[in-house]
Amino acid sequence: MNSLRTDREILEEISHKFQIYGELLHAEVCKIGHLNETYTATYYQAGARIRYIHQRINTDVFKNPDHVMENITRVTKHIRDILRRESINEVTRRTLTMVPTREGKSYYRDINNNCWRTFFFIEGTRTYDAVINEKQAYQAGKAFAQFQSHLVDLKGERLHETIPHFHDTRRRLEAFHQAVNTDPFNRAETAKREIEFIKKREKIAGVILDALADGSVPERITHNDTKLNNVMFDNSSDEAMCVVDLDTVMPGSVLYDFGDMVRTATSPTFEDEQDLSKVKVRSSFFQALARGYVEGASPFLTPKEKSLLTFSGKLITYTIGIRFLTDYLLGDNYFRVHRAQHNLDRCRTQLKLVESIESKETEYQKFIDSL
């Protein structure tokens, strides 16, 4: 897609492949997520302007689009059925609604082997890249908890693992050690403190993995990418309306979902902040996030899961720090970089946040226990 004309031509083709019966007026790139190519498309349909989302699935990351779309189809239908049974208003604003192809399929594969899907555009909502206040933290925590809660009783076969071993910290450590030992770009010397920090805390890597293996923590259906910008907020009330970006919905632990919320929603900085004095967990944001999450998750959350919520924030942040440092040592092949030592800066930010969580871990868990 190298020109506006090419984009237009491709979207004209796409518009005729889905159950959309109107004239494509215009389309624009939509900044939703980081992996898939997304357009907001406006159609003139039955006398009104209607918007849809056209999205090209990134098959480099999600290598089996059939599995991705089977998961999304099952999950969104199940949530929609629950909302209707509960007589919830505005169901189509509270869960994604897919538009099938004219053959009734969940996605269309074009002549270039690209996989496209279409959703209704959720009007009157917006996303945020960072948490502005405690109300948003509360709403985000509750939204992801309710998403998990709605899927507790999903019947049928186990969902597909769209990215196997996604939260396997042990595997991340193995890759890290290999990168340190081979050091192909002679960068280990510049990251000595970070390497030592990670090695010192290796014992935490298997805590949740072992709990899943022995059954003391149940496997559940989880989102696995619980950044704030994957929640749609109502423009007027700022209420969390809908959880989006469902490609990574698969079997996992709710602890990983909560942990990534702590990582992304409680620090006032971006994940590549160079001034580490600014990096810390804001206690009021953590408490608001935890209140919202526990309130939404209370119908299913076990005492064991609840006891590991604060720890999960530390573990996920530690794991992401490992991934950034590994990529730095291997020459920045996975995460896109925009400056020298960008991935090292990202790693340092994550590890500083780990320290911040550690400093108040007991206090934060006591707060959660009191909820």
* pLDDT tens column, 158-189: 999 999 999 999 999 999 999 999 999 999 99
Residue 31 banded pLDDT, cuts 50, 70, 90: low
Q: What is the pLDDT of residue 32?
A: 53
Give CA–CA dist 12/115, Å, rounded.
15
Q: What is the pLDDT of residue 196?
A: 98
Q: What is the pLDDT of residue 2?
A: 42
Residue 13 banded pLDDT, cuts 50, 70, 90: confident
pLDDT at 1 over 60: no
Q: Are residues 107 and 220 in the same domain?
A: no
Does the residue 164 lie in any domain?
A: yes
Query: What integer is the mean pLDDT of 40-55?
Result: 92
Q: Are residues 20 and 109 in the same domain?
A: yes
Q: Are residues 216 and 194 in the same domain?
A: yes
Q: Are residues 183 and 309 in the same domain?
A: yes
Q: Are residues 118 and 237 in the same domain?
A: no
Alpha helices in the chain (DSSP H): 4-15, 65-85, 91-94, 134-150, 169-182, 192-200, 207-214, 254-265, 283-297, 303-307, 309-329, 342-359, 361-370
**Among 12-26, 70-84, 199-213, where is mean pLDDT lowest?**
12-26
pLDDT at 8 over 90: no
Does the residue 60 lie in any domain?
A: yes
Structure tokens at 138: 């509360």
Q: What is the pLDDT of residue 336?
A: 85
Does the residue 287 lie in any domain?
A: yes
Domain enclosing residue 44, as ranges:
4-65+98-123
Q: Are residues 161 and 289 in the same domain?
A: yes
In order of 55, 105, 108, 147, 223, the CA distances from 69 in angstroms are: 12, 10, 11, 18, 14
**Among 30-44, 73-87, 107-121, 172-186, where is mean pLDDT lowest?**
30-44
Does the residue 179 lie in any domain?
A: yes
Q: What is the mean pLDDT of the chain?
A: 93
Residue 6 banded pLDDT, cuts 50, 70, 90: low
**Total structural domains in the chain?**
2
- Measured in degrees and rounded to the nearest 5, phi and psi for residue 41 equal -115, 130
Does the residue 91 lie in any domain?
A: no
What percentage of the chain has pLDDT greater than the value 90? 85
Q: Are residues 48 and 150 in the same domain?
A: no
Residue 35 banded pLDDT, cuts 50, 70, 90: low
Give the 3-state secondary structure of residue 172.
Answer: helix
Q: Are residues 59 and 145 in the same domain?
A: no
Q: Are residues 211 and 117 in the same domain?
A: no
Q: Are residues 161 and 261 in the same domain?
A: yes
Q: Are residues 196 and 118 in the same domain?
A: no
266-313 residue pLDDT tens: 999 988 999 999 999 999 999 999 999 999 999 999 999 999 999 999
Give CA–CA dist 262/287, Å, rounded.
10
CA torsion, ordered 274, 280, 281, 285, to nearest 10 deg: -70
Residue 29 banded pLDDT, cuts 50, 70, 90: confident
CATH number of the domain enclosing 59: 3.30.200
Q: What is the pLDDT of residue 12?
A: 86
Does the residue 229 lie in any domain?
A: yes
Q: Are residues 26 and 171 in the same domain?
A: no
Does the residue 86 lie in any domain?
A: no
CATH number of the domain enclosing 345: 3.90.1200.10
pLDDT at 346 over 80: yes
